Chain A
Amino acid sequence: MYMATASFSNRVGQAVEKSCSSISLLTFPAPKPTSSLPSLAVKCIDVQKGHHSSKWFLPWGKDQCESLKGFDEASSRLIVANDIVFAVHIPFIGHEMSPWFQFMLIILQLDIAFQFRNEIEENAMLTLDVAMAYRDGLNDPWTEMARSVEQRKLKCVLPVPKTQANEGHNYDCDLLPLLELGSVAHKYYLLNIKLPVNDQKKINLGIGEIKDLRLVTIFQNGGFTQVWFAMKTFLTPSILIIMIWYWRRITMMTRPPVLLEKVIFALGISMTFINIPVEWFSIGFNWTWMLLFGDIRQGIFYAVLLSFWIIFCGEHMMVPLVAQFTCSCCREGRESLRDNSADLPDLALITSFYDQAERNRISVYWKQVGPIAFGSCCLFIFDMCERGVQLTNPFYSIWTTDIGAELAMAFIIVAGICACLYFLFLCFMVFQVFRNISGKRSTLPAMSKARRLHYEGLIFRFRFLMIITLACAALTVIFFITTQISEGNWKWGEVTIELNSAFFTGVYGMWNLYVFALMFLYAPSHKNYGEDQSNGCTGSGSGEELQLTTTIANIDGPTEVYRLAGKESQE
Chain B
Amino acid sequence: MTPEYFLRSLLMMILAVFSANASNWLYLAKLSSVGSISEEETCEKLKGLIQRQVQMCKRNLEVMDSVRRGAQLAIEECQYQFRNRRWNCSTLDTLPVFGKVVTQGTREAAFVYAISSAGVAFAVTRACSSGDLDKCGCDRTVHGVSPQGFQWSGCSDNIAYGVAFSQSFVDVRERSKGASSSRALMNLHNNEAGRKAILNNMRVECKCHGVSGSCEVKTCWKAMPPFRKVGNVLKEKFDGATEVEQKKIGSTKVLVPKNSQFKPHTDEDLVYLDSSPDFCDHDLKNGVLGTTGRQCNKTSKAIDGCELMCCGRGFHTEEVEIIERCSCKFHWCCYVKCKQCHKVVEMHTCR
Which A residues form the contact surface with B (CB < 8 A)? Answer: 31-42, 59-61, 69, 71, 74-75, 79-81, 84, 88-89, 91-96, 98, 100-101, 105, 107, 109, 111, 115, 117-118, 168-170, 175, 177, 195, 197, 204-205, 207-210, 214, 216, 218-219, 221-223, 294-295, 298-299, 379, 382-383, 386-387, 480, 483-484, 487, 504
Q: Which residues of B contact A74 (CB under 8 A)?
A: 333-334
Q: Are A169 and B228 in contact (CB under 8 A)?
A: yes
Q: Which residues of A contact B213 (CB under 8 A)?
A: 386
Q: Are A118 and B150 in contact (CB under 8 A)?
A: no
Q: Are A40 and B212 in contact (CB under 8 A)?
A: no
Q: Are B153 and A35 in contact (CB under 8 A)?
A: yes
B132 interface contact, C-beta 8 A: yes
Q: How far is the CB of A199 from chain B (nearest CB, A)?
A: 8
Q: Are A93 and B132 in contact (CB under 8 A)?
A: yes
Asked if A38 meets B212 with Cβ closer than 8 Å, knowing A81-B331, A207-B332, the reply is no
Q: Are A209 and B332 in contact (CB under 8 A)?
A: yes
Q: How far is the CB of A413 from chain B (nearest CB, A)?
A: 13
B217 interface contact, C-beta 8 A: yes
Q: How far is the CB of B205 from chain A (nearest CB, A)?
A: 6
Q: Are B154 and A221 in contact (CB under 8 A)?
A: yes
Highest count of chain B CB atoms <10 Å: which of A34, A69, A88: A34
- The secondary structure that dominates the B interface is mixed
Bound-state Cα–Cα, A108 to B126, Å: 16
24 pairs, CB–CB < 8 Å, chain A vs chain B? A32-B153, A32-B154, A35-B155, A39-B130, A71-B333, A80-B333, A81-B332, A91-B155, A96-B151, A100-B151, A105-B209, A117-B328, A169-B226, A195-B332, A197-B331, A209-B330, A221-B152, A222-B153, A223-B153, A298-B211, A379-B212, A386-B213, A484-B218, A487-B204
Q: Which residues of A contact B134 (CB under 8 A)?
A: 92-94
Q: Which residues of A contact B219 (CB under 8 A)?
A: 34-36, 218
Q: How far is the CB of B37 from chain A (nearest CB, A)?
A: 14
Q: Are B205 and A218 in contact (CB under 8 A)?
A: no
Q: Are B205 and A175 in contact (CB under 8 A)?
A: yes
Look across to chain A and name the residue whose beta carbon is closest to the beta carbon of B140: A94
Q: Which residues of A contact B216 (CB under 8 A)?
A: 480
Bound-state Cα–Cα, A219 to B207, Å: 12
Q: Are A37 and B155 in contact (CB under 8 A)?
A: yes
Q: How far is the CB of B59 from chain A (nearest CB, A)?
A: 17
Q: Are A487 and B220 in contact (CB under 8 A)?
A: yes
Q: Which residues of A contact B217 (CB under 8 A)?
A: 33-34, 504
Q: Are A59 and B152 in contact (CB under 8 A)?
A: no
The one of B152, B223, B335 in contact with A81, judged by C-beta atoms closer than 8 angstroms, is B335
Residues 327-344 of B, flagged 1 when their CB comes within 8 A of A and 0 if not, give 010111111100000000
Q: Which residues of A contact B229 (CB under 8 A)?
A: 170
Q: Are B330 and A117 in contact (CB under 8 A)?
A: yes
Asked if A223 meets B148 with Cβ closer than 8 Å, knowing A32-B153, A379-B212, the reply is yes
Asked if A170 meets B131 with Cβ closer than 8 Å, knowing A81-B331, A93-B137, A117-B328, the reply is no
Bound-state Cα–Cα, A375 to B213, Å: 16
Look across to chain A and name the residue whose beta carbon is closest to the beta carbon of B224: A38
Interface set, chain B 142-175, CB cutoff 8 A to A: 148, 150-155, 158
Inter-chain contact total with CB atoms closer than 8 Å:
167
B60 interface contact, C-beta 8 A: no
Q: Are B212 and A382 in contact (CB under 8 A)?
A: yes
Q: Which residues of A contact B133 (CB under 8 A)?
A: 93
Look across to chain B and name the residue whose beta carbon is closest to the beta carbon of A483: B218
Q: Are B207 and A31 in contact (CB under 8 A)?
A: no
Q: Are B211 and A295 in contact (CB under 8 A)?
A: yes
Q: How far is the CB of B5 from chain A (nearest CB, A)?
A: 37
Residues 82-122 of B, flagged 1 when their CB comes within 8 A of A and 0 if not, give 00000000000000000000000000000000000000000
Bound-state Cα–Cα, A333 to B139, Å: 74
Q: How far is the CB of B139 from chain A (nearest CB, A)?
A: 8
Highest count of chain B CB atoms <10 Å: which of A33, A177, A221, A484: A221
Q: Are B151 and A36 in contact (CB under 8 A)?
A: no
Q: Are B151 and A92 in contact (CB under 8 A)?
A: no
Q: Are B138 and A95 in contact (CB under 8 A)?
A: yes
Q: Give the number of chain B interface residues (Cβ < 8 Å).
A: 48
Bound-state Cα–Cα, A265 to B190, Å: 67
B201 interface contact, C-beta 8 A: no
Q: Which residues of B contact A95 (CB under 8 A)?
A: 137-139, 150
Q: Are B330 and A80 in contact (CB under 8 A)?
A: no
Q: How far is the CB of A73 from chain B (nearest CB, A)?
A: 9
Interface set, chain B 204-247, CB cutoff 8 A to A: 204-205, 207, 209, 211-213, 215-221, 223, 226, 228-229
Q: Are A222 and B333 in contact (CB under 8 A)?
A: no
Asked if A39 meets B207 with Cβ closer than 8 Å, knowing A92-B137, A386-B212, the reply is no
Q: Which residues of A contact B209 (CB under 8 A)?
A: 34, 105, 218
Bound-state Cα–Cα, A32 to B148, Å: 12
Q: Which residues of B contact A504 (CB under 8 A)?
A: 217
B51 interface contact, C-beta 8 A: no
Q: Are B131 and A80 in contact (CB under 8 A)?
A: no
Q: Are A204 and B332 in contact (CB under 8 A)?
A: yes
Asked if A168 meets B228 with Cβ closer than 8 Å, knowing A38-B158, A216-B221, A487-B204, the reply is yes
Q: Are A60 and B130 in contact (CB under 8 A)?
A: yes
Q: Are B212 and A383 in contact (CB under 8 A)?
A: yes
Look across to chain B and name the residue whose beta carbon is closest to the beta carbon of A208: B332
Q: How far is the CB of A398 from chain B (nearest CB, A)?
A: 9
Q: Are B228 and A170 in contact (CB under 8 A)?
A: yes
Q: Which residues of B contact A39 (CB under 8 A)?
A: 129-131
Bound-state Cα–Cα, A480 to B217, Å: 10
Q: Are A93 and B131 in contact (CB under 8 A)?
A: yes
Q: Are B150 and A40 in contact (CB under 8 A)?
A: no
The one of B138, B204, B215 in contact with A91, judged by C-beta atoms closer than 8 angstroms, is B138
Q: Which residues of B contact A60 (CB under 8 A)?
A: 130-132
The one of A92, A218, A480 in contact with B207, judged by C-beta atoms closer than 8 angstroms, is A218
Q: Are A219 and B154 in contact (CB under 8 A)?
A: yes
Look across to chain B and name the residue whose beta carbon is closest to the beta carbon of A209: B332
Q: Which residues of B contact A175 (CB under 8 A)?
A: 205, 207
Residues 3-39 of B, flagged 1 when their CB comes within 8 A of A and 0 if not, give 0000000000000000000000000000000000000
Bound-state Cα–Cα, A214 to B137, Å: 15
Q: How far is the CB of A30 from chain B (nearest CB, A)?
A: 9
Q: Which 5 A-B pairs have the closest CB atoms?
A: A35-B154, A31-B153, A60-B132, A223-B152, A36-B221
Q: Which residues of B contact A98 (CB under 8 A)?
A: 151
Highest count of chain B CB atoms <10 Å: which of A31, A36, A101, A218: A36
Highest count of chain B CB atoms <10 Å: which of A32, A214, A218, A295: A218
Q: How far is the CB of B133 from chain A (nearest CB, A)?
A: 8
Q: How far is the CB of B310 from chain A (nearest CB, A)?
A: 21
Look across to chain A and name the residue whose beta carbon is closest to the beta carbon of B132: A60
The one of A37, A79, A295, A298 in contact with B334, judged by C-beta atoms closer than 8 angstroms, is A79
Q: Which residues of A contact B152 (CB under 8 A)?
A: 31, 221-223
Q: Which residues of A contact B150 (CB under 8 A)?
A: 91, 95-96
Bound-state Cα–Cα, A89 to B216, Å: 29
Look across to chain B and name the residue whose beta carbon is closest to the beta carbon of A171: B226
Q: How far is the CB of A265 from chain B (nearest CB, A)?
A: 24
The one of B154, B212, B215, B334 in contact with A75, judged by C-beta atoms closer than 8 angstroms, is B334
Q: How far is the CB of B332 from chain A (nearest CB, A)?
A: 4
Q: Are A31 and B212 in contact (CB under 8 A)?
A: no
Highest count of chain A CB atoms <10 Å: which of B209, B213, B217: B213
Q: Are A38 and B131 in contact (CB under 8 A)?
A: no
Q: Are A31 and B154 in contact (CB under 8 A)?
A: yes
Bound-state Cα–Cα, A78 to B126, Å: 26
Q: How far is the CB of B348 from chain A (nearest CB, A)?
A: 18
Q: Which residues of B contact A115 (CB under 8 A)?
A: 330
Q: Which residues of A contact B155 (CB under 8 A)?
A: 35-37, 91-92
Bound-state Cα–Cα, A96 to B215, Å: 28
